[in-house]
Amino acid sequence: MRGLRATGHTFRVPLDHADPASPSIEVFAREYSSLDHGDDEVSRLPWLLFLQGGPGGRGVRATQLSGWLKSAAREFRILMLDQRGTGLSTPADAMTLASLPTPQARADYLTHFRADSIVADAELIRHRLGSPPWTVFGQSYGGFCTLTYLSIAPEGMQRALITGGLAPLSGAPDEVYRATFRRVEERNAEYFSWYPGDRDLVTRIARHLDAVEEHLPSGERLTARRFQMVGSFLGGNTRVHGLHYLLEDAFTQTPDGPRLSATFLEQVSGIVSRASQPLYALLHESIYCQGAASSWAAQRVLEEYPQFREDADATLLTGEMIYDWYFEEDPALRPLQAVAGILAEKDDWGRLYDADVLATNTIPAAAAVYRHDIYVDRELSLATAAAVRNLEVWETDEFHHDGIADDGEGIFERLLSMTRR
């Protein structure tokens, strides 16, 4: 594939690494390398493990070496992990979880799909590949996992590279959502300053959805509050401008008056559905939880920001937050509604980070912190960075959350060089 060599690997791992009697699941990873290296040379290259964003995101399916992959393949063999439950790893979705007898059993099963289990998988895989300590590169939630790696298995790492993914080391998810709601409001204002005509258009769409039943191609009614989730565009660097193209042909004229166009509804369906990534909705708040329940934190914090109500005078778009009603309105999530409720009230989540280990960290680490990131807050990120010894920060306003999609090569090379100083 245009200079790219790809090789699949499948590993059997325990569902619960702490229980020798635990049933096993499969974890898939795809190895990428450059054809500029011969087979013998590739076998001698050091490994780089990439941890994708999410939770619930499968590894990148590359068809050519571009962006950060192009840069990394010059000196690494890249292992692209399908984190447990995703991609070609043993799936965790409504169909497969139905084999477990009760919602409680399904929720218990999913407690083994957080960062600590992903890191344990990675260490087992590293040993099976016969690799010495390797470079770990984490984007977004993959950066959260990288911090967990530094906490519980630093002996497996040569260096850590993180982009848009420095998680709070303690505290409830509430502080995360208070910060990100503020960021999202600022990003709404910035977007509407570029496209002032979209200000009234967004509100018009929301009011139309309150008054007229519009249905997505999957059959369910599109509500105003679910439409607000197209604000996921706002987290992008150049992708944000795709929101304008989505909105520009929202309405079409019919004999019965204006209706939302089929083109618009088709595109919105792909944005607001979690059919291909149910773990994102199920586990999103739990990735912040240590010893306490989330109790639908984003939904509670939303009450503090009435400007985000779907019936506000000027409708604002939201970000990646997950709410309990989402499991009613998304058909892909309805079978998992009871499971989501149990996970939201679970109050004995284990620790994901060891502050003492991180305070004495000796592994070279570098992190890109995006100043206006609407998903991973700058101030919270810098507080975490200050608590991790040997972690150097590059703070920039050049990029938003998905910066590596815009200049992956430059960002990767900068972070790599920072760990070599």
What mean pLDDT do residues 226-242 have?
93
In CATH, the architecture of 4-168+353-418 is 3-Layer(aba) Sandwich (3.40)
Please give the Cα distance from 325 to 341 (Å, whole number): 11
pLDDT digits (tens, 9 = 90+) for 34-91: 999 998 999 999 999 999 999 999 999 999 999 999 999 999 999 999 999 999 999 9
Give DSSP secondary structure letters for 329-384.
Answer: H-TTTGGGHHHHHHHHH---PPP---HHHHHT--S-EEEEEETT-SSS-HHHHHHH
Q: Write down the mean pLDDT value for the chain.
A: 96
Phi, psi (degrees; rounded to nearest 5) at 31: -95, 130
Please give the Cα distance from 240 to 218 (Å, whole number): 25
212 pLDDT more than 80: yes
Please give the Cα distance from 42 to 51 (Å, whole number): 21
307 pLDDT more than 80: yes
Please give the Cα distance from 98 to 78 (Å, whole number): 34
Please give the Cα distance from 230 to 266 (Å, whole number): 13
| Residue 17 is among the residues annotated as catalytic for this protein | no
Spell out the domain ranges in the chain.
Answer: 4-168+353-418, 173-345
Q: What is the pLDDT of residue 319?
A: 79
Q: What is the pLDDT of residue 1?
A: 75
| Residue 401 is among the residues annotated as catalytic for this protein | yes
pLDDT digits (tens, 9 = 90+) for 236-277: 888 899 999 999 999 999 999 999 999 999 999 999 999 999
Confidence of residue 310 (pLDDT cuts 50, 70, 90): confident
Is the four-CA dihedral 341, 103, 142, 268 of positive or negative sign? negative
In the set 40, 256, 348, 356, the catalytic residue is 348
For 163-192, what is the HEC assignment?
ECCCCCCCCCHHHHHHHHHHHHHHHHHHHH
Confidence of residue 20 (pLDDT cuts 50, 70, 90): confident
Coil, helix or strand at residue 43: helix
| Residue 406 is among the residues annotated as catalytic for this protein | no
Q: What is the pLDDT of residue 150?
A: 98
- For residue 113, the number of C-alpha atoms closer than 13 Å in the C-beta half-sphere is 32
pLDDT digits (tens, 9 = 90+) for 354-406: 999 999 999 999 999 999 999 999 999 999 999 999 999 999 999 999 999 99
Confidence of residue 201 (pLDDT cuts 50, 70, 90): very high
Q: What is the pLDDT of residue 311?
A: 86
Please give the Cα distance from 400 to 370 (Å, whole number): 6
Please give the Cα distance from 226 to 345 (Å, whole number): 23
In the set 273, 294, 401, 402, the catalytic residue is 401
In the set 140, 151, 273, 286, the catalytic residue is 140
Q: What is the pLDDT of residue 237?
A: 85
Tokens matching residue 237: 């660097």
Decide if 106 contacts 339 (C-beta within 8 A). yes
Q: What is the pLDDT of residue 154?
A: 98
Task: Identify which of 51, 165, 114 has the alpha carbon closest to the alpha carbon of residue 294.
Answer: 114
Decide if 108 contacts 131 (C-beta within 8 A). no
